[in-house]
Amino acid sequence: MDLLVTLAVLTLQIVLLFNVVMFIVLALVWLERKVLGRVHQRMGPMRVGPHGTLQSLADGIKLLLKEDLAPSSAERFAFLLAPLLVFAPSFLVFVAIPFTRDIVVRNLALGLVYFVAVSSLSTVGMVLAGWSSSNKYALIGAARTAAQLISYEIPLVLVVLSVAMLGGTLDLRGLVESQGQAGPYVLWQPLGALIFIMAALAEVFRPPFDIPVAESEVLGGPMIEYSGMRWGLFFMAEYGNAFAFSALFVLLFLGGWQGPLLPPILWFLLKTSAVILVFFWMRAAMPRLRIDQLMGFAWEVLLPFAFLNLFLTGVVQLYRWPLWSLSLLSLTGLLALGYVVERGRVTWRRSPSLAS
Amino acid sequence: MATFPFAGVLKSLWVTLRTAVRKPVTVQYPTVRVPYAPRMRGFPALIWDDAVGEHFCTGCQVCARYCPTNAIFVTMKNNPLNQTGQSPRRKIVNQFYLDYGRCIQCKICVDVCNFDAIEMSHETEFSEWDKRALIFDVRDLLHMETLANPRTKQVVTRR
Amino acid sequence: MLIKREFETVEMPINVGPQHPSTHGVLRLVMTLDGEQIVKVDPVIGYLHRAVEKLSENLRYQNIPHLFDRLDYVSAFNNEWPLAMAQERLLGLEVPPRGEYLRVILCELNRIASHFLFFGAFGHDAGTATSWMYGFRERERIQRLFEMVSGYRMMHDFVVPGGVREDVPEEFVPALRALLPVLWQGLGDCNNLLTENEVLVTRTRDIGVITGEEAISYGLSGPSLRASGVREDLRLTEPYSVYPDLDFDVVLGQHGDSYDRYWVRMQEVAQSLRIVEQALDRLPGGLVCTPGLPKYPKLLKLPVGETYARAENPRGEFGVYLISTGGDRPYRLKIRAPSFCNLMALPRLMEGHYLADAIMILGSLDVVMGEVDR
């Protein structure tokens, strides 16, 4: 009997969470189109619903009604499985995200590790999608996807680890609460925050790191051969991931739901929206990096500086130096990063020529 | 060029931010329309002579001869109004078919017409399901000119 | 005993097909890739062939500009001008100064519009949809002016032998004067967006490098040639019309890479704006077309002869070789299209680069398939 009750409660939670995630995704799609429209000095969707708010819903219905195409030479089972493997992780990470102190599905004691681990499972799905499509472009896209996701995982984990060192816990709720006393960690670890933003952009395949799914080159990467709702699953996974990583940034660096006057959930949503708007802004303004430049950026710039960030945090924690010294050191690291990027540009742009 | 690291990127971010607060350059067509220049070439329309109460067009077939796509078919007849002395035109247009599916709006028919009977209107919205419905006859061609488009309230300029 | 296994790689033939978001029209590139590097690339053209040269042999001279607009559909005025120049040379016509100045103004405006479209497409290939919108926003403003003049936004049919078809309406000059500061600001916006953006520079510096001598041997012309440092601009080296009276600089690049091809075009927009301002100040009154030329329905008959007339298109040297055996139709009308010749250098430019670079190289050459395939 208890088992049945538990199962019923769990199912209810899952359904509720699914609806919340869907709503978030739809709202994000609409918001991106509007923001991009404004940046382009046009209006974005305006017709479907007041100011186009129902546009994403209409698109979703359209996707459901589309014909389910699959290439005849595709591996049927893998082809059908891949979108689910991509969508499931981006949905599962929401289980551990505390929206406020009380609004959370299950606050895991290892919430941070869970988040990073589960979100990296989508790599498998992408590669499976590209391989099973029996399309050369998809294969190229899948190879790039795997390389990018793996490379940017490491700086991300290192930065997240430094934050955990500051907060003393891997529990997401606990990290936010420790920022209540110490102040938002972005002040003490600006270098870490910047590295996190860039690694998160790469994890979510947003410009300037979106070459695996670049439309003008590989026509959508691993997702080329998918149509209808299967493609919709990839799409939703991308936006779900974007929201999840923005939420993680807010939790780790911006102080989560804390703030004066407004109710906590509103603070959380406002801060996440601000981070998401930065993501959209980067999409509007930045061209794409080539894949080898992207990888070079991860391994030659982000990784050493993530190690530096970890080292600085460790030193400050070990010798019990005051926190503002960490922010000073971190800012110095930030300037060094700018300098290295500027100098390093000279070596990455060259692609080897067979003629030479 | 680059004064400090990431200067170019910051410029891109700044210009996108600045554009985002400007008024949009697009309008919500078809509820709102951008006014056309007077010379804008839509599809041709025939002109009605109010003073006499008939077409300017006499059916001389010059436009049909010089139309590059053979979109015009014209025939003429003896003008009954001329016999009664009301009109100076001895001949008047009998049939006039202009296939909008073939018309390329090159304005040659307007340029060669000796009687200034045909003019380019500002109408361009003629989507039909069947391309045979695009062959306009003399009534439609005239109707186009006198009718103010109920949505745009624009009337073709007449002479 | 250690067993060493050799890593075996296979070269993959890939088809960047005629339908592709970034081939600037219908161009097919058959590439052989080794991993990400391009080993061989074969452009296949002809998907937009409309037999313009053959059709012109059956059309009266008054009808041909209509076809010529559709060659380089992005910059229509510039296509009609060499055709008119060829006919004028055979007829021995003198164009009145107002006609010349109007031609210069309209063609330079079209050059600006074409380069804005290049900016849009180039940025779009690089990844920003924003640059597409910015480029087209400026282009739309210019096209609205063109609608005021000729009735069309793109396919004008306006430059005829002897001058231009009719005079510009009165509101044109004030509208153009009001538009010029807006275009300067638009150019500033576009430059702010991409010209110094580190990501774009990283994507395009030292990509598709070609030296000046090689460029000449491949037949490049226009901004792609000037980006390699060759000072070759038909408006200066073989001046026609009123260009000798106008003061402008020829923009040269130094490295001959994709970034320089982009940069040269953006600077050329500034130069063209200068030309338009000067021409507007000096615009004389008077006739716009040589009087006495037969107008429809009288037919224009050219004397027997052949001539080659060329002008500086936004893409390079656009030439028209006209053979007339008397009569109202040409015997042969051969078009020297700049994009066709520029495209010949594509395999040389792309070899050894990555697939992503190939797209940027193609974008930086600024080919329009309408004139490649004719």
User: Which range of residues forms the domain containing residue B40?
Assistant: 35-146
Nearest residue, CB atoms, A285 vs list B16, B24, B26: B16
User: What band does C320 get if pLDDT is binned at 50, 70 and 90?
Assistant: very high
Checking if the pLDDT of C2 tops 60, the result is no
Contact: B6, A40; criterion CB under 8 Å: no
| Section C364-371 average pLDDT | 88
Which chain C residues touch A356 with a CB distance below 8 Å?
352
CB A71 within 8 Å of CB A133: yes
Q: Give the Cα separation of C138 and A86 in Å (integer).
A: 41
Chain B residues with a Cβ under 8 Å from any Cβ in chain C: 1-2, 6-9, 11-12, 14-16, 19, 25, 34, 36-41, 62, 65-66, 68, 104-108, 111-112, 120
Q: At residue C3, does pLDDT exceed 80?
A: no
Please state the separation of Cα C56 from the chain's center in Å: 21
Mutation target among B11, B14, B16, B18 for the A interface, most CBs of A within 10 A: B16
Hey, are the CB atoms on B19 and A281 less than 8 Å from each other? no
Distance CA C248, CA C257 (A): 24
- Under 8 Å CB-to-CB from B36, ≥6 apart: which residues? B122, B154, C147
Question: In this complex, which of B1, B9, B112 lies closest to C199 when CB atoms are compared?
Answer: B9
Amino acid occupying residue C70: R
Residues in chain A: 356
Shortest CA distance from B3: residue in chain A? A342
pLDDT at C318 over 60: yes
Nearest to C220 by CA among C123, C361, C19: C361
- Residue C26 Cα, gap to closest chain B Cα (Å): 24
A304-336: b (≥16 Cβ within 10 Å) or e: ebbebbbebbeebeeeeeebeebbebbeebbee
Is the pTM here over 0.90, yes or no?
no
| Model confidence pLDDT, tens digit, residues A302-316 | 898 899 889 988 888
pLDDT at A160 over 60: yes
Interface of B with A (CB under 8 A): 2, 4-6, 9, 12-13, 15-17, 19-26, 28
| Cross-strand partners of B77 | B92
Least trusted range by pLDDT, from A4-13, A81-90, A208-217, C132-141: A208-217
pLDDT score of A356: 32
pLDDT at B1: 37
Instruction: For residue C168, give the chain B residue with the closest CA.
Output: B39
Q: At what angle do helices A264-285 and A229-249 cross, to 10 degrees?
A: 110
Q: Is the CB of residue A178 less than 8 Å from the CB of residue A169?
A: yes
Question: Could you give the residue ranges of the DSSP H alpha helices within chain C?
Answer: 52-56, 64-68, 76-91, 97-126, 129-150, 172-190, 198-204, 212-218, 223-226, 234-237, 258-281, 338-343, 346-350, 355-365, 369-373
Residue A298 — pLDDT band, cuts 50, 70, 90? confident
Given a cut of 60, whether residue A350 has pLDDT beyond it is: no
Find where tokens 């359209």 sit: A62
pLDDT of residue B151: 40
- C-alpha C162/C-alpha B49 separation (Å) is 35
Record: contact C198-B9, CB cut-off 8 A: yes
**Distances, alpha carbon A229 to alpha carbons A18, A226, A234, A235, A237, in Å:** 16, 8, 9, 9, 12
User: What is the reported pLDDT for C277?
Assistant: 92
Note whether A41 contacts C137, CB cutoff 8 Å: yes
Q: What distances in angstroms separate CA B52 from CA B48, B87, B89, B94, one per listed residue?
A: 9, 6, 10, 17
Query: How many Å apart are CA C180 and CA C184, to the nearest integer?
Result: 6
pLDDT grade for B101, boundaries at 50, 70 and 90: confident
Give the pLDDT band of residue C60 (cuts 50, 70, 90): confident
pLDDT one-digit tens code per residue, C279-316: 999 888 888 888 877 776 677 888 898 899 999 999 99
Where exactly are the structural domains of chain A?
1-65, 71-344
Span A83-87, mean pLDDT?
90
Give the whole-angstrom CA distance, residue C154 versus residue C148. 12
3-state helix, strand, coil in chain C (%, to 5): 50, 15, 40
What pLDDT score does C107 carry? 92
Q: How far is CA A242 from CA A89, A290, B17, B50, B139, in A?
A: 12, 21, 21, 67, 60
pLDDT of B149 over the 60 cut: no
A354 vs C126: CB contact, 8 Å cut-off?
no
Query: Which of the two residues, A83 and C355, has the higher pLDDT score?
Result: A83
| Distance between CA atoms of residues B114 and B116, nearest Å | 6
Contact assignment for A40 to C201 by CB distance below 8 Å: no
Instruction: Note whether residue B2 is domain-resident.
Output: no
The CA distance from A114 to A163, in Å, is 15
CA distance to partner chain C, nearest, from residue B103 (Å): 13
Q: What is the pLDDT of residue B152?
A: 43
pLDDT score of A218: 52
* pLDDT at position A8 over 80: yes
The answer as to whether C69 is a domain residue is: yes
Give the model confidence (pLDDT) of A179-201 as tens digits: 887 778 888 888 889 899 999 99
Mapping DSSP to helix (H, G, I), strand (E, B) and coil, where does residue C246 land? coil
Burial of A268 (0-12, 13-18, 19+ CB in 10 A): buried
| Selected residue with higher pLDDT from C313 and B89 | C313
Identity of the highest mean pLDDT range in A231-245, B42-56, C348-362: A231-245
Higher pLDDT residue, C253 or A345?
A: C253
Name the more confident of A212 and A251.
Answer: A251
Write down the mean pLDDT value for chain A: 84
Report the pLDDT value the prediction gives residue A138, as an integer from 0 to 100: 78
Chains that contact A by 3+ CB pairs under 8 Å? B, C
Nearest-angstrom CA–CA distance, A74 and A86 = 18
Nearest to B62 among C152, C192, C297 (CB): C297
Interior angle at CA B38, CA B32 and CA B39, nearest 5? 120
* pLDDT average, residue stretch C42-65: 88
On average, the pLDDT of chain B sits at 77
- Give C270-276 contacts, CB < 8 A, sequence gap 24+: C270/C187, C272/C108, C272/C109, C272/C111, C272/C112, C272/C115, C272/C248, C273/C112, C273/C180, C273/C183, C273/C184, C273/C187, C274/C247, C274/C248, C275/C104, C275/C108, C275/C246, C275/C248, C276/C105, C276/C108, C276/C109, C276/C112, C276/C176, C276/C180
* C-alpha–C-alpha distance, residues A178 and A160, integer Å: 15
Report the Cα–Cα distance between both ends of chain C, in Å, rounded.
65
pLDDT for residue A352 is more than 50: no
Buried b (16+ CB within 10 A) or exposed e, B75-106: ebeebeebeeeebebeebbeebbbbbeebebb
Nearest chain B Cα distance for residue A46, angstroms: 8
Exposure class string for B46-57: b at 16+ Cβ within 10 A, else e: bbbeeeeebbbb
| Number of domains chain B is built from | 1
User: CA-nearest residue of chain C to B2?
Assistant: C196
The number of folded domains in chain C is 1
Residue C205 near residue C257, CB atoms below 8 Å: yes
Name which of A41, A292, A348 is nearest C133 (Cβ-Cβ).
A41
CA distance C249 to chain A (A): 30
Q: Do C152 and B66 touch (CB under 8 A)?
A: no
**pLDDT for residue B153:** 42
At residue A79, φ and ψ (nearest 5 deg) are: -60, -40
Structure tokens at C113: 């519009």
Q: How confident is the model at residue C5 (pLDDT cuts 50, 70, 90)?
A: low
User: Does a structural domain hold residue B28?
Assistant: no
- Nearest CA to CA, how far is B37 from chain A (Å)? 23
Answer for the pair B29, C215: CB distance below 8 angstroms, yes or no: no
How many contacts (CB atoms, under 8 Å) link B and C? 74
Report the DSSP beta bridge partners of residue B26: none
Q: Could you tell me if residue B104 is inside a domain?
A: yes
Cβ–Cβ gap C151/B107 under 8 Å? yes
Report if residue C3 sits inside a domain.
no
For residue B141, the model assigns a pLDDT of: 64
Position B43 in a domain:
yes
Say yes or no for a CB contact (<8 Å) between A349 and C201. Answer: yes
CA A79 to CA A225: how far, in whole Å? 9
CATH of the domain at B96: 3.30.70.3270
Lowest-pLDDT range of A64-68, A250-254, B83-87, C343-347: B83-87
pLDDT digits (tens, 9 = 90+) for C69-114: 888 888 888 999 999 999 988 888 888 999 999 999 999 999 999 9
Cross-sheet strand order for the sheet of C37-44 = C12-16, C28-34, C37-44
- Cβ atoms C297, B62 nearer than 8 A: yes
Q: Which of A281, A346, A349 to mutate to test binding with chain C, by most C CBs within 10 Å of its CB? A: A349
Half-sphere exposure of A34 (CA within 13 A, CB side): 17
Contacts of C195 in chain B (CB under 8 A): 8
Q: How confident is the prediction for chain C on average, in pLDDT? A: 87
Q: HEC string of chain B?
A: CCCCCCHHHHHHHHHHHHHHCCCCCCCCCCCCCCCCCCCCCCCEEECEECCCCEECCCCCCHHHHHCCCCCEEEEEEECHHHHCCCCCCCEEEEEEEEECCCCCCCCHHHHHCCCCCEEECCCCCCCCCCHHHHEECHHHHHHHHHCCCCCCCCCCCCC
The A-side interface with B (CB below 8 A) comprises 35, 37-43, 46, 281-282, 284-286, 338-339, 341-342
- The reported pLDDT for the residue numbered A345 is 62
CB contact under 8 Å between B16 and A284, yes or no, is yes
Q: Which domain holds residue C364?
A: 12-373
Which residue among A42, A285, A339 sits closest to B12, beta carbon to beta carbon?
Answer: A285
